[in-house]
Structure 1
Amino acid sequence: MHTTSTKQNLILSLLKLGSEQGLQAISLSTLAKENKISKAALYHHFASREAMIEELFSYCNTLAYQQMATISLSGSPAEVLSRAMDHWHDLYANAPMRYFYRIIQTEALTHPAAKAIQTTLDEMLQGQSRILLESLSESSRLVIEDIDLAVLTFSSVVQQFLRRILLDETEDLEWEEERFIQNFCTLYQSR
């Protein structure tokens, strides 16, 4: 049976609390109290508050890479893009990654490490979008003359949908996503 270490529990607590209140609002005392340890015991696991935040980012970055599953490229363009959207939803809607993405979104303006992670995550989404769209174009399921524009358009809209999930602004989201995918496929359908 696998047990979670105290250090990992501290990171997960910081992750949850930070996503709810912002990292800067979480005091070391609050974190210690949440984990039923002394404030001094925190320093047994982390040299400083900044080291703890860096460890949080590193831990979650590793989780993010582990969860980037392969998206099946079989089926119609709408099926492929819908599967991709479902995959990204799962990453953004479920703990602990939901907490991580919320922190990255709120901290990116003031914390250089969060900004770098946000950039990397955006690039990963663009990269996955490129693979999907190139595959659909190469197999003649979609006719995409300007792949760069199609990737930029698709990934930018997907990023906006995912940010709405983090903000709990999900009213009509499923309908809007389906409509976007249908319109995108219609725009690039084989002639």
Structure 2
Amino acid sequence: MHATSTKQNLILSLLKLGSQRGLEAISLSTLAKENNISKAAIFHHFASREAMIEELFDYCNTLAYQQMATISLTGKPSEVLRRAMDHWHDLYANAPMRHFYRIIQTEALTHQAAKAIQTTLDEMLRGQSGILLESLSESSRLIIEDLDLAVLTFSSVVQQFLRRVLLDETEDVEWEEERFIQSFCALYQGT
């Protein structure tokens, strides 16, 4: 059992340090020092540096799926969309998922697995947005003639807000999100 917790601690350390400095900037010596073990002990748990990074991505993917919650679809459209936004904010703002999302954003250009995860996360956000907007449209709380366009618009703007959260550019974000939600609902409101 001790070996599993050491392995998990190594992954969590890599996650935290990697989100602060980038994965490439984290040496095995730094990781060993952070965990009070020898550099050689790391290879007891991982066959290679790349294997450790792959396990980091697998670990975080599992966490991401576990974090998915059901967003209540009751209430006014603006309430539903605000709850969704709050849910996504929680995922992007709190450790350990915040560290994971930051790594994915920074590593997606150079690491194939990170790019694949980023694509999956973007698709999940689009899918969740689609379910929300389709439900609001089917219940006539919003009148959406082109659902694909509405989902693309909504999810793209939400992704930009979430990236700003990851970059700690949060000044005025809540106000801008609220304004976006109100404008989006006004655009598709029934007569």
TM-score normalised by length of structure 1: 0.98
Please provide the CA RMSD for this pair: 1.0
Q: Report the counterpart of residue 86 of structure 1 in structure 2.
A: 86
Q: Does 1:35 align with 2:72?
A: no
* Structure 2: 5+ residue stretches without partners: none
Structure 2 matches for 1:156-175, cutoff 5 A?
156-175=156-175
Structure-1 residue corresponding to 2:143: 143
**2 CA distance for matches of 1:45 and 1:101?**
24
Mapped pair 1:73 → 2:73:
yes
Aligned residue runs from structure 1 range 39-118, under 5 A: 39-118=39-118
Cα deviation, residue 30, structure 1? 0.3
How far is 1:187 from its partner? 0.1
Residues 69-99 of structure 1, C-alpha deviations (whole Å, 9 max, x = no match)? 0000000000000000000000000000000
> Secondary structure of 1:5's partner?
helix
Structure 1: 5+ residue stretches without partners: none
Percent identity between matched residues is 88
- The whole-number CA distance in structure 2 between the counterparts of 1:72 and 1:9 is 35
Which residue identity does 2:38 align to in structure 1? S
Q: Which amino acid aligns with 2:19?
A: S
Which residue number corresponds to residue 187 of structure 2? 187
For 2:104 and 2:18, how far apart are their aligned partners in 1?
10
Q: What is the CA-CA distance between 1:180 and the residue it aligns to? A: 0.1
> Are positions 1:130 and 2:130 aligned together?
yes
CA shift for structure 1 position 151: 0.1
> For residue 80 of structure 2, what is the amino acid of its counterpart?
V
| 1:41 CA drift (Å) | 0.3
Q: How far apart are 1:136 and its partner, in Å?
A: 0.1
Partner AA of 1:121 in structure 2: L
CA distance in 2, matches of 1:138, 1:11: 44
- Within 2, Cα distance between the matches of 1:173 and 1:42? 41
Q: Give the Å deviation of 1:56.
A: 0.2
